[in-house]
Amino acid sequence: MIIQKTENSRISAFDPNNFSFGNTFIDHMIICEYDNGKWGDVKLVPYGPLMFTPAMMGVNYGQACFEGMKAYKDKDGQVFLFRPEKNFERINKSAKRLAMPQVTEEMFLDGLKALVDIDRDWIPQGEGMSLYIRPLIFATEEALKARVSNKYMFAIVATPAKSYYTEPVSVKISDHYSRAANGGVGFAKAAGNYAASFYPTQLAIEEGYEQIIWTDDATHEYFEESGTMNVFVRINDTIYTPPTSEKILDGVTRDSFIQLAKKRGIEVKIEPIKVKDVIEAQKNGSLKEVWGVGTAVVTTVFQALGYNGEKLQLPRLSEEESYAESLKRDLVNIQSNLSEDPFGWRVQVDHVLETA
């Protein structure tokens, strides 16, 4: 790895108690370029602009995929990644489906550790605080031909992230729009999937909802995901989540929730969830909770489901009664080193590169 430290650190201007998530960037980034059939050197460099023309294939043909993950700082200042190997595997699944070159462990995992290590001072400390990390691969060849690019960039950029406390939201069960086709790219963290979801989400917001529960595009009879999260439903004391498929992203949080629920002795059923069954359960009172899970906010609890023009209310459970909240607490405690880690999910980031 080639390391080029910044000579103009911006850290002294960074206030961990008052910053804007998403557009405050840490001092460095990782970049690595692909050309002539192979990846070049991994470089840790100052965060900043590169040169691209509007003919860059990444923005013309959407060959681009990404990951979203976090680093957490415990009360002693130790820094941890959470199951980074899952994101490494997933970015390569995404890359394969988009006909892009896969990245190596050295690029992804070592790059991640070096970046988090050198910029560890940027990681805010405290309940729910973290560093949000964005590895991505995108096509960089400049060519106006609808074909696979010959040049790519792998990059890792990062932004400090605040507490993930969120209010319960109302979600609309989609009856027209969809995010994934059979034989499509729904399981990949493909850039284009996100752009496609914005307009339907705006329409749902105009109807008084905050998010969408995506359903299958052919019949809208089955739950798929919720916003950019995987979805869980609790009926009586059993929790349900759809099996992953070519239409559903294999979320790290989803997988962690399933394991944590089993550990708590909660019955988990991984099976298709019928909209009809959820609505019926709401009507007969057996529907206890519906929530989404993902790295960004861990859990978003739903307070109402929009279906057929009706806004169906969900019960308000206390933190103790709620499986969503209990499992979130279990997960957050592991992530931030407040509890044992029986699954071996935490990966400590050693001090190697001192910013001195």
Site residues (vs ligand PLP, CB under 6 A): 68, 189, 225, 228-230, 249, 251-254, 294-296
E strands, 162-266, in order: 169-173, 211-215, 223-226, 229-235, 238-241
Report in angstroms how near the CB of residue 144 gets to ligand PLP at its nearest.
Answer: 12
Distance CA 338, CA 341 (A): 9
Question: Binding partner of residue 229 among a copy of itself, ligand PLP, none, CB under 5 to 8 Å per kind?
Answer: ligand PLP
- Which residues in 202-231 contact a copy of itself (CB under 8 A)? 202, 217-218, 228
- Report the residue number, 107 or 296, with the smaller CB distance to ligand PLP: 296
Among ligand PLP, a copy of itself, none, the one that 112 touches (CB under a kind-dependent 5 to 8 A) is: none
Q: Does 322 bind a copy of itself (CB under 8 A)?
A: no
Q: Which one of a copy of itself, ligand PLP, none interacts with residue 98, CB within 5 to 8 A by kind?
A: a copy of itself
Among 58, 124, 292, 306, binds a copy of itself (CB under 8 A): 58
DSSP 12: G
Cα–Cα distance for residue pair 234/319, rounded to 1 Å: 15
Nearer to a copy of itself, 62 or 78 (CB): 62
105, burial (CB in 10 Å: exposed 0-12, middle 13-18, buried 19+) = exposed
Three-state secondary-structure class, residue 233: strand
The CB-of-23 to a copy of itself minimum distance in angstroms stands at 5
Which one among 126, 127, 199, 280 touches a copy of itself, defined by CB under 8 A? 199
Residue 318 exposed, middle or buried by CB count within 10 Å (0-12, 13-18, 19+): exposed
Look at strands 28-35 and 79-82 and give their pairing. Answer: unpaired
Task: Work out whether 116 is an interface residue with a copy of itself (CB under 8 A).
Answer: no
Residue selected from 128, 200, 244, 325 as contacting a copy of itself according to rule CB under 8 A: 200
Partner touching 345 among a copy of itself, ligand PLP, none, CB below 5 to 8 Å by kind:
none
Q: Which is nearer to a copy of itself, 63 or 337 (CB)?
A: 63
Taking the complex as a whole, the smallest distance from the CB of residue 226 to ligand PLP amounts, in Å, to: 8
Picked from ligand PLP, a copy of itself, none, the partner binding residue 145 (CB below 5 to 8 A depending on kind) is: a copy of itself
CB of 241 to a copy of itself, least distance (A): 21
Phi, psi of 122 (to 5 degrees): -80, -10
Structure tokens at 24: 């405050």
- Contact positions with a copy of itself (CB under 8 A) in 146-165: 146-148, 153, 155, 157-159
- Roughly how many angstroms between the first and final C-alpha of the chain, as a whole number? 19
Strands 169-173 and 152-161: unpaired
Cα 116 to Cα 13: distance, rounded to the nearest angstrom: 19
Q: CA 162 to CA 313: how far, in whole Å?
A: 29
